[in-house]
Chains A and B, each alone.
Chain A
Amino acid sequence: MIPDEYLQTFVVECGELLEQMEEALLVIERDPKDPEIINAIFRAAHTIKGSAGLFGLDPIVAFTHVAESVLDRARGGEVIIDSTLAALFIEVHDHLARLVEHVIEGKHPADEIDRDSKRLIARLETYLGDTATHYLDESLIVHAIKAVEENSNGVETDYWHLSLRFGTDVFRNGMDPFSFVRCLNTLGSIVKLVTIIDTIPPADEMDPESCYLGFEISFQSDADKLAIENVFNFVRDDCVIHILPPRSKIEEYKRLIKALPEQEMRLGEILIQCGTLTPEELESILRIQSKHHANEVQRPLGEVLVEQHIVSPPVVNAALEKQQQVKENKKPETNLIRVDAEKLDELINLVGELIIAGAGTNLIARRANMADLMESTATLSRLVEEVRDSALALRMVQIGGTFNRFQRVVRDVSKELGKDIDLVISGAETELDKTVVEKIGDPLTHLVRNSMDHGIESAEIRLARGKPAKGKLKLNAYHDAGSIVIEVTDDGGGLNREKILGKAIERGLVTEGANLTDKEIYNLIFEAGFSTADAISNLSGRGVGMDVVRRNIEALRGTVDLDSIEGQGSTIRIRLPLTLAIIDGFMVAVGETTFVVPLDMVVECIELNAWAGDTSDGQYLNLRGEVLPYRRLSEYFDTKGDRVQRENVVVVRYGEHKAGLVVDKLMGEFQTVIKPLGKLFSGEKSIGGFTILGSGEVALIVDVPGLMNQIEHEREVGLSYAAVAA
């Protein structure tokens, strides 16, 4: 039985790899020959197969193996990944995801999934130039590999070539490189083995307990690649292992030479020594490389070496290029640290406390009227603010990851709709708070689907209107005045002003003859229960529409609006705060308690009785002729304290609802750090969090939507009681 934690790691790793695979698959249709992308897909498949083998998850290994073989041919340029094959691989990807899911559930794949495996394998096999059998067994896999191998442009020898570079800890982990060599001898015979000793450092720097050895092995065997790979199961993690099957292509060797740490020429000689390559083959490999990188010669070093006849120019080129690669590869590794999100939250929480404590000190300093102290607290609070900003910046992630997921959405939806639509992404490097990123996905998906379904016309209409048949959908993000703006733009038909206005009047959202600007009319589509779609499709137009999107975005304290030019397309703009951890609040007092209302939900403040009169039974106000439900916060929260002479009403708006909150005192704007309430209060919907004031007092943050729902709920309950009583 495999320990759960390892399996968990496996599943997480597979998830990441599958994501990479999907990303690569979605871009490959555009550039089917890009070796980087093909390699990315191949690597993902290969690694999944490798790890699955480690756990003995044979169904995954067998399935991935065939996919890997096809990808291997694609790497060699024998198979072109056109849209049909890319589509097949997307199915392969989804199927793999299902297989991995089964691992999580600890079940053996169901028959149905097994059938799917076989079906997909059969389809993949057509790309291997092999149509023989549709059932999966070992011999078939061997057969498939053979098919791959028997291709032109292979090297002359019939031997496997194994390149091994052992990790420094191999000895310490109790393993002896030669034991693997002996083990190999049980699978076949070693034709030639060259021990690589180049990395052994000079005597005074050498650690005798570290392993510096490597092997280049020419190996004759009938075993399949899996069996050979399995020999190295125990050292797979900390060793660099390359296994090339017999008659691999010259290209493969070229890649191998580039992948290994030693200098090209030296390696080339070793390969000749092993009998793996002939001198002619090596020469052609080096020639290929020089053709690729002729432009990148770095003169000084290159010239000297060539003049001295030490190395040939192609070797210098390739070597220099590789050095560059090593540097580039190193960068992201050394600059990134993975941190548990909880630790970050804790840090931000502490910084929040620091701000509050700082504000308290400020208050005391001012009260004490000590110039020195005030000056030093001012410096302190500036620094604390900087710390807060950088702490918040730690939570920032690029929106690119979210955007890239839409490649798949757009691809699937456009297939479903039978439209040809391109997704263009820009501003992917724009950063915003991780929690916001997590929550923006759903509304964004809705908007994207909506734009594709209703925005972009079918190809015939597009051509008739003189537009390219291929629709274009753009996702863009940028920073603007302390918030992030995300735009979804389509080049479709745009909104029909008259149609929207007609519908709005019909639904009673606006009165006939009201004077509205174009923009106001367009934004009517965010009102509840509004859909102008002529036909209800599977995707949108079922009434669960833009109002939900707006509510979701407003819950993130953001706004959404829409621009449209009829016939040319529309742009939906979402504006979100950079972080959810800090809020611009409006502070009010009720009795002795202080409340904070999110500032962007406050519409206006008026004096009760002077400007707005209670017209009925204490539930509605007459606000300039508008009916406004209201509640006294003192009643709602049952606070103590005498009723003040002049009460004020804070009019708040959430979505299409407006309500009045009656408070005792208005205290003004206030920027504050939101602190979550404890679990004990999780049932309390009308309070969203709390904050600590400079004076050390606690202020509660009103969750306006929650409070409104609560009031609504109470009213309904009250009404039904009244009905029962009557």
Chain B
Amino acid sequence: MANKQQNRRIVIEGELNIYTAMEMKDTLLAGLLTNEELELDLSAVDEFDAAGLQLLIMAKQGATALGRTLKITGHTPVVLDILNLSGLGDFFGDPLLIDESNVA
């Protein structure tokens, strides 16, 4: 798993779940602190669970508290599945477009 951190944009690859939660939290927080507007690209996430969801919620809430903007893009089916189950789509307020390339 590698997370490419470009300006204003974090690309998360591979797992976003309980196994990576610890380090992912730091990555996300660092990204939030250094960027006014941050885009979280999930298009390469292939494992996602409630711990991952919880992290996204934390990031979203953190961004609101700091007065920053967080956008989540590139929802893969695994992410969408959980997002749909949890009914939190509205909470994030991101357009839920599936990138064609990710639909297997």
Counting CB contacts under 8 A, is B73 at the interface? no
How far is B49's CA from A195's CA once the two chains are assembled, in angstroms?
Answer: 14
Binary interface profile of A, 494-523, with partner B (CB < 8 Å = 1, else 0)?
000000000000000000000000000000
Is the pair B85, A178 in contact by a Cβ cutoff of 8 Å?
Answer: yes
Find out whether the CB atom of B49 lies under 8 angstroms from the CB atom of A209. no
Contact flag A194-B18 (CB < 8 Å), given A203-B61, A208-B55 = no
Select from chain A the residue with minimum beta-carbon distance to B24: A208
Q: Is the CB of A178 within 8 A of B25?
A: no
B91: A residues at CB distance < 8 A: 197
B86 and A171 contacting across the interface, CB-CB below 8 Å: no
Q: With A and B bound together, what is the CA distance between A178 and B51 in angstroms?
A: 10
Distance of A211 Cα from B54 Cα, bound (Å) = 8
Chain A min CB distance to B50 (Å):
5
Would B88 and A195 count as touching, CB distance under 8 A? Answer: yes
Report A452-484 residues with CB < 8 Å from chain B CB. none
Instruction: Decide: A209 near B87, CB < 8 A? Known: A178-B49, A197-B57, A200-B61.
Output: no
Q: How far is the CB of A183 from chain B (nearest CB, A)?
A: 12
> Out of A171, A193, A202, which one reaches B50, CB within 8 Å?
A171
**Residues of chain B contacted by A203 (CB below 8 angstroms):** 25, 29, 32, 58-59, 61-62, 65
B85 and A171 within 8 A (CB):
no
Q: Which of B8-61 contact A (CB under 8 A)?
A: 18, 21-22, 24-25, 29, 32, 49-51, 53-55, 57-59, 61
Q: How many A-B residue pairs have CB under 8 A?
A: 68
Question: Are B51 and A171 touching (Cβ within 8 A)?
Answer: yes
- Assuming the contacts A176-B50, A211-B50, asked whether A200 and B58 have C-beta atoms less than 8 A apart, the reply is yes
Among residues of B, the one whose C-beta sits closest to the C-beta of A174 is: B18
Q: Is A177 an interface position by the 8 A CB rule? A: yes
- Given A171-B18, A176-B49, A208-B25, is A200 in contact with B54 using a C-beta cutoff of 8 Å? yes
Query: Does chain B have a CB within 8 A of A42?
Result: no
The yes or no answer to A192 lying at the interface (CB within 8 A) is yes
Which residues from chain A contact B85 at a C-beta distance below 8 Å?
Answer: 178, 181-182, 193
Cβ contacts under 8 Å, A211 to chain B: 50-51, 54
A208 to B91: give the CA distance in the assembly, Å: 19
Task: State in angstroms the CA–CA spacing of A209 and B19 once bound together.
Answer: 8
Q: Which of B21, B50, B55 contacts A178 (CB 8 A)?
A: B50
CA of A202 to CA of B32, assembled, Å: 13
Report the minimum CB–CB distance from A260 to chain B (whole Å).
Answer: 18
Contact between chains at A206 and B58 (CB < 8 Å): yes
Contact of B86 among A182, A195, A200, A209 (CB under 8 A): A195
A208 vs B18: C-alpha distance when bound (angstroms):
8
Contacts of B61 in A (CB 8 A): 197, 200, 202-203
The reply to whether A202 and B18 form a contact with Cβ atoms under 8 Å apart is no
Binary contact track A530-568/B, C-beta < 8 Å → 1, others 0: 000000000000000000000000000000000000000
CA–CA, A212 to B17, complex, Å? 14
Interface string of A162-203 (1 = CB under 8 A from B): 000000000110001110011000000000111101001011
**B57 / chain A contacts, CB cutoff of 8 Å:** 197, 200
Is A428 among interface residues, defined by CB-CB distance under 8 A? Answer: no
- Chain B 82-97, CB-CB to A under 8 Å as 1, else 0, gives 1001111001000000
Assembly CA distance A448 to B58 (angstroms): 64
Say whether B22 contacts A209, CB under 8 Å.
yes
Interface presence of A213 (CB below 8 A): yes
> In the bound complex, how far is the Cα of B19 from the Cα of A171, in angstroms?
10
Neighbouring B residues of A171 by C-beta, 8 Å: 18, 21, 50-51
Closest to B60 in A: A197
CA distance A212 to B51 in the complex (A): 9
The interface residues of chain B lying within 8 Å CB-to-CB of A192 are 87
Q: Give the docked Cα–Cα distance between A354 and B89 (Å).
A: 69
Contact call A193/B86, Cβ cutoff below 8 A: yes
16 contacts between A and B (CB under 8 A): A171-B50, A176-B18, A176-B49, A177-B50, A178-B49, A193-B86, A194-B87, A197-B54, A197-B61, A200-B58, A200-B61, A203-B59, A208-B21, A208-B24, A209-B18, A209-B21
Interface residues of B (CB under 8 A from A): 18, 21-22, 24-25, 29, 32, 49-51, 53-55, 57-59, 61-62, 65, 82, 85-88, 91
Given A197-B57, A200-B57, A203-B59, 15 new contacts (CB under 8 A)? A176-B50, A178-B85, A182-B85, A194-B87, A197-B88, A197-B91, A200-B58, A203-B32, A206-B25, A208-B58, A209-B18, A209-B21, A209-B22, A211-B54, A213-B53
